[in-house]
Each structure stands twice: as structure tokens, then as C-alpha cells.
A and B are shown apart, each in its own frame.
Chain A
Amino acid sequence: MAKSPQSGTDRYSIFTVLREALRGHTGWRPAWREATPKPRYDVIIVGGGGHGLATAYYLARRHGITNVAVVEKGWLGSGNIGRNTTIIRSNYMLPGNEPFYEHSMKLWEGLEQDINYNAMVSQRGIINLCHSDAQRDAYARRGNAMRLHGVDSVLLDAAGVKLHLPMLDFTNARFPIVGGLMQPRAGTVRHDAVAWGYARAADRLGVDIIQNCEVTGIRREAGRVVGLETARGFIGANRVGLACAGHSSRVAEMADLRLPIESHALQAFVTEGIKPFIDTVVTFGAGHFYISQSDKGGLVFGGDIDGYNSYAQRGNLPTVEDVCEGGMALMPQIGRLRLLRSWGGIMDMSMDGSPIIDRTPVDGLFLNAGWCYGGFKATPASGDCFAHLIATGQPHKVATAFRLDRFASGRVIDEKGMGAQPNLH
């Protein structure tokens, strides 16, 4: 029996802003409660990041399951939801992936109204540049695959790219820009606001968000989950969903599971703020570099993972140099800018580069993992599909391919064609 997420005075709107302005902002409530764990829940989600909070929200909103806890070892949104480059897109090619990411894009398009929170969803588009005839052919194929799935895509020639991105270096002899694939509906979202918005909306539906509550064990009886040992004592539940991103292997190990996942560090960067410079998202096709400009003016960019297993939320200098070289090859004028910050997140790199949303061999234990460095754009659909799986026991129709056993059965979804080498995805 799901209530509306926000009712009465708690709803954010122009009227509440005006009302609070008149009464000295004394009426705002905290966006979520400091919940104390109850002895037992219908469902516990491990991981208070974007995917975990979205899952809890959709469990309550779509399936009426409100006796739900989200347990988080650190603070809410302390992992990859606050460490990404904020890009959303659905420009995938393979049948197992594309409907899922398009489902996510549609949820992004209605997200702010749904959760009554300004997540600054900005559909400013993405342009993937190509630098050779072969790459243009591959993008033409990808764009066609997208359109066959009902997704927008536009193949641009060099002049078309120049119209959108006059600041690029079109004189690069080694990597000439011959065109690009544009998805106009792609864009960026204020990443922290996604965590905060889902947390607030889930909280208002009755979900308990329990921070600083590290899981130390998964208690099982006769092959079934019965609850979690945590830093704040035992919490009972017959259904537990893991949404632990880079730490999935560590938590799954508590249930004696080994996953087709390696943890790798991915770095991202932001420059000092400048005047409007790039009004879309651009990716360099000859290296690995992607860039957009935040509303504050900073250029937000990133590249490859560091390339070796790591649980440190920081990377090493050779990758910083490599990413910046990619940027300089694309738009040399950014060499004048100073880097303001760089940071790292731990990616759950799966063996085929695609995620897992599935049951596990342990009854009642569900797994949401393997997002590689593409997890942010997937947040709403991941939560929706994981909630569907936990609530109904059946995979959501757009997530049927994300099975844990696909590695054994040979039905891998290798979008990049790299094989079982996570550091190459």
C-alpha cells in the first residue's frame, strides 16, 4: 500500500519555497530520518549508493514493499554515485543491453517529477567522435541498432561535428575527426542529487536508511538467507539484495560466493570553472576520453580505468597523464586550465563488461553488480529491475540477459568485444 512519496507540506515546490522564505526557513524537515535498525525487515538492501537507494524506492513505490532497510557501511552516497562523470546515455548496441539502458533513459526523463527532487537532468546530448572509416562504419552500425530499438541517434560527418563542436582540433593529422555518432537525448545529471533524491523519496515511503552500518556476515539457515550480521547487530530478513558495486566480491564472499568480477580503480577530474565552452558530452574515439561542462563551469572528464586490481579510492599518475593526453589531442586549449580535483572510485568490472541483476545460488539472496564504469546512467533502471526481481522473483523484461550463469552458459554480453579481461573493458 504505497503512499504518495511526498504529501502536504513536505513536497518541494515553488509554493513551499515561497512559504519558507516568508517564515525564515523554519519548516524544512531533514531529507531523510536517522533510522535505527528494526529487528526484522521484509527486504534489506546492502549498499546505500544510487542503485541501492533506487531499488528501495521502487520496491516501495511500485511493489508496495515498504518494510525495507538500506544498510550502508559509510555515509549515504559515499561510493561511485558521488564519484562519476555524471553522464547518462543509451547508445548501446547489443540486444541484451540496449532496451535496458533505454528504459533507464526514459526513467531519467521523468525522474524529477517522480521523486519530487531537482536532479538537474540535462539532455544536452552526446557525440562519440570517430577518426577512421572503419570506426565510422562501426558507429553507423551502432546508430542503426539503436534506431531499431526505437532510440534516437544521428550520424554526423566532420562538418556536422564542427557545427556542434567548433572548439575541437580538426587539424590533428594522426587522429582526424571524420564524424561522430550523436544521441540528442543523452546528457548529464547532478550525481549527488540522485542519491539524495532517491533517499528522500524512499524515506517518505517508510524505507529505513541506516548509515555507518557495515555488513559483517550473511546469516543462512538450510541454504536460505535469514538476515545480516552488521556493525549494529543482527538484522533479520528473508530477502537480501546486494548493491555493493566495487565491494561486491567482498560481501558475496560472506555467503561463500565467488563472482565473475574484479575491482578496479577509475579516476575522474574536474578543472577550474570557466565560461560556457562545451554544451554537450564529447568522447574521443582514438583514445579513451570523455568530457562535459558542469553548470558551475568546471570541465568534468575521465578516461580509462587504472588497469590493475584495486580497492583504493584513488589512482596513479600514469593514468592521469594518459587521460590528459587524450584531452589535449582533442581540444588543445584545455591545456591552459588547472585541474581543481581528481578522485577515484572502485569499479565492479565484470568479465564481459555487462552487469548482473539476478538471483544467487543462496535462496533469498539477490545480486546487483558488475556495472564496470557504466553504472551511473543505469541507476534508475537498475533500481527498477532489481526491485522487480526481489518483489516478484522474476527478472524485469528489459533485464533478462543480465544473468549470473551467463558466463558458464556462454551467453556473455560483450559490448566491446574484449573477452574475459576486465582491465581491457
Chain B
Amino acid sequence: MRINCPCCGERSLEEFTYLGDARKTRPAGDAAADVWVDYVYLRENPGGRHSEFWYHGSGCQSWLVVERDMTTHAIFGVKFARDAAIAAVVHTS
């Protein structure tokens, strides 16, 4: 598997660190307990497309959002996490 970093170009997997589901948003500190349980513990864990955080630690040190197929490992898109977050805010506002 190779990830096409928007800054560094296509790079091998060992340069990256995985964090997990990028669609989870951190609840407010005073949110209800079940909202926090959902955020910390529950996962969609889809068999197909999955939007996820990767950190390019051995490259540009950017946080990325990678759209990837869980079964085939095909990668559909890579963008900076910052841009993805801004897009999400624009989309919901």
C-alpha cells in the first residue's frame, strides 16, 4: 500500500502512522456520557469505504485524511486533515 501525500507525493506505508476513523468528532466536554462512549469506543468498522486519519511522521509531518476501501485497500483520495476539517465545518454550517 502506498499513500499519495498531497505534500510529498506517493510514499510507502512505513512512513505513516494510523489513527483511525476520521468522521468521529470530539464531543463537548459536558456532553452526555453515552455521546462520549460512542466517540471513544463504538466504531462503524465498514467493509467498504472508510475515511481515516494518517500521520506522515517520516515525511512532511502532516495529518492526512485518507479515503480507503477496507477490503481491497484501494485509495480513493488523500487530503490534508486541516482542509477536510474546514470542508466539514463549511458543509454543516
Contact = CB atoms under 8 A, between A and B. Distances in A.
Contact of B52 (A249, A309, A316): A309
B18 A318 contact: no
Contacts of A287: none
Given A249-B45, A258-B44, 11 more contacts: A249-B44, A261-B43, A262-B43, A263-B45, A309-B20, A309-B52, A309-B70, A312-B70, A407-B41, A407-B42, A408-B41
Query: Which of A261, A311, A318 is packed against the most chain B CB atoms within 10 Å?
Result: A311
B20 A262 contact: yes
Interface of A: 247, 249-250, 258-263, 307-312, 316-318, 321, 351, 407-408, 420-423
Contacts of A420: 40-41
Contacts of B90: none
7 contacts: A249-B44, A259-B42, A308-B52, A310-B70, A318-B13, A423-B18, A423-B20
Decide if the interface of chain B is mainly helix, strand, loop or mixed. Answer: mixed
A247 B18 CA distance: 21
B43 A311 contact: no
Interface in B29-48: 33-34, 37-38, 40-45, 47
Nearest to A419: B40
Contacts of A262: 20, 43, 45
A249 B43 contact: yes
Contacts of A317: 13
B25 interface: no
A21 to B, nearest CB: 47
B46 to A, nearest CB: 8
B55 to A, nearest CB: 12
Contacts of B37: 407-408
A308 B34 CA distance: 26
Contacts of B44: 249, 258
A311 B14 contact: no
Nearest to A250: B47
B82 interface: no
A93 B81 CA distance: 39
Contact of A261 (B38, B40, B45): B45
A321 B90 CA distance: 42
Contacts of B41: 260, 351, 407-408, 420
A421 B20 CA distance: 9
B71 A312 contact: yes
A321 B42 CA distance: 32
B58 to A, nearest CB: 11
B73 interface: yes
Given A318-B13, A408-B33, A312 B72 contact: yes
Contacts of B61: none
B71 A311 contact: yes
A413 to B, nearest CB: 13
Contact of B18 (A258, A307, A321, A408): A307
A316 B68 CA distance: 15
B40 A259 contact: no
Given A316-B1, A408-B34, A311 B13 contact: no
A309 B14 contact: no
A173 to B, nearest CB: 25
B73 to A, nearest CB: 6
B50 interface: yes
Nearest to B12: A318
Nearest to B2: A316
A259 B41 CA distance: 8
Contact of B50 (A250, A309, A321, A421): A309
A391 to B, nearest CB: 29
Given A263-B70, A312-B71, A258 B13 contact: no
A97 B93 CA distance: 47
A316 B13 contact: yes
B18 A259 contact: no
Nearest to A263: B45
Contacts of B20: 262, 309, 421-423
A276 to B, nearest CB: 35
A308 B66 CA distance: 12
B18 A308 contact: yes
Nearest to A321: B14
Contacts of A307: 18
A349 to B, nearest CB: 9
A312 B73 contact: yes
Nearest to B36: A408
A258 B18 CA distance: 22
Contacts of A258: 38, 42-44
B52 to A, nearest CB: 7
Contacts of A250: 45, 47
Nearest to A248: B45
